[in-house]
Amino acid sequence: MVSKHWLEVEPMECNGEAQERKQRWILVTGGAGYIGTHTVLQLLMEGYCVVIIDNLDNSCEEALHRVRKLAGEFGENLKFVKGDLCKVEDVLKVFKLHRFDAVIHFAGLKAVGESVSKPLRYYSNNLISTINLMDVMSKNNCKNLVFSSSATVYGQPECVPCTEDYPLHVMNPYGRTKLFNEDIMRDVHHADSEWKIVLLRYFNPVGSHPSGPRLHSCHGFGKWSYEGSGQTLHNSRHRMCNLQFGNRERHHCA
Ligand SMILES: NC(=O)c1ccc[n+]([C@@H]2O[C@H](COP(=O)([O-])OP(=O)(O)OC[C@H]3O[C@@H](n4cnc5c(N)ncnc54)[C@H](O)[C@@H]3O)[C@@H](O)[C@H]2O)c1
């Protein structure tokens, strides 16, 4: 159920160019999660149409009601499909809905400790999901992908901030799933240069959306994020390292 607090939230204002981008469809995997909900809201406010696929393993549909509400008139451009990327039939179903311009891939299990005690769960979920997704994307000629990797691929860096050429040194199964996914993507791009792939290697984002304490809420939120820190996702201590291949011009590390 949506709380009273959230029903009182005023829709955000959108920018003037947003209408022009209507009909550009973005698929966001794991879009009901912490980073996903914030990203989806921003995409909607920029005028994109968004489909989310999420199995709600670590999230809840209620968060999407909040996103729709905050997006005001753009909320109707959001569709949600409850589905598991590890089931190829669920991925195929989503690609029958629209022709996507790009996919932002957030879906995955992310708890380092759990990945040590349940490695097969992590390898299975985080790798099969990506393979299914990229296979179906390729068959549908959608080759623009943003992947949510992690700064965990650097292990314990001796100094921060890391530059993207810092040696990769994963220390746990979660980190290895991120590095394997990156390797899969590098190989796919090597085999077919039409792919444009961005790997985002961020540290832990903290904080909440400016509209309220919790845009995304679910059982996992409190465990992995810092609620009530008074910082938003945009101005949080959020260091991002962004690797892109397919178009090397926009290399960026902050
Ligand atoms: N939060 C962080 O500190 C952080 C830092 C670096 C990288 N990342 C990565 O960013 C991504 C998003 O992180 P988050 O904090 O929003 O996590 P989150 O757990 O809040 O969101 C991930 C979403 O993916 C969904 N999901 C998992 N497996 C799925 C599957 N097989 N099919 C469909 N949906 C599935 C979950 O239900 C959840 O809603 C993850 O891949 C995570 O590894 C997170």
Q: What CATH number has the domain bearing residue 82? A: 3.40.50.720
Mutate to test the pocket of ligand 1, among 60, 110, 153, 227 (most ligand atoms within 8 A of CB): 110
Q: Is residue 142 part of a domain?
A: yes
Residue with the nearest Cα to atom 26 of ligand 1? Answer: 107
Classify residue 28 by burial, with Cβ atoms within 10 Å: 0-12, 13-18, 19+: buried
Q: Is residue 214 part of a domain?
A: no
H or E segment at 173?
A: helix 173-191
Q: Tell me how far the alpha carbon of residue 28 lies from the centroid of ligand 1, in angstroms.
A: 11
Domain count, the chain: 1
Instruction: Tell whether ligand 1 has an atom less than 6 A from the beta carbon of residue 54.
Output: yes
H or E segment at 54?
A: strand 49-54
Q: Is residue 108 part of a domain?
A: yes
pLDDT class of 149 with cuts at 50, 70, 90: very high
For the segment 92-145, what is each residue's pLDDT rounded down to a tens digit?
A: 999 999 899 999 999 999 999 999 999 999 999 999 999 999 999 999 999 999
Rounded Cα–Cα distance for residues 28 and 146 (Å): 9
C-alpha distances (whole Å) from 107 to each of 70, 131, 228, 251, 252 are 22, 12, 24, 24, 23
- 195's CB contacts (< 8 A; 6+ apart) are 143, 144, 145, 185, 188, 189, 246
Structure tokens at 150: 């992690």
Q: Is residue 80 part of a domain?
A: yes
Rounded Cα–Cα distance for residues 175 and 226 (Å): 21
Q: Look up the domain containing 170 and give its range.
A: 25-202
Q: Is residue 228 part of a domain?
A: no
Q: Is residue 85 part of a domain?
A: yes
pTM (two decimals): 0.85
Asked if pLDDT for residue 252 goes beyond 60, the answer is no
For the segment 24-61, what is each residue's pLDDT rounded down to a tens digit?
A: 999 999 999 999 999 999 999 999 999 999 999 999 99
What ligand 1 atom has the least distance to the C-alpha of 57?
37
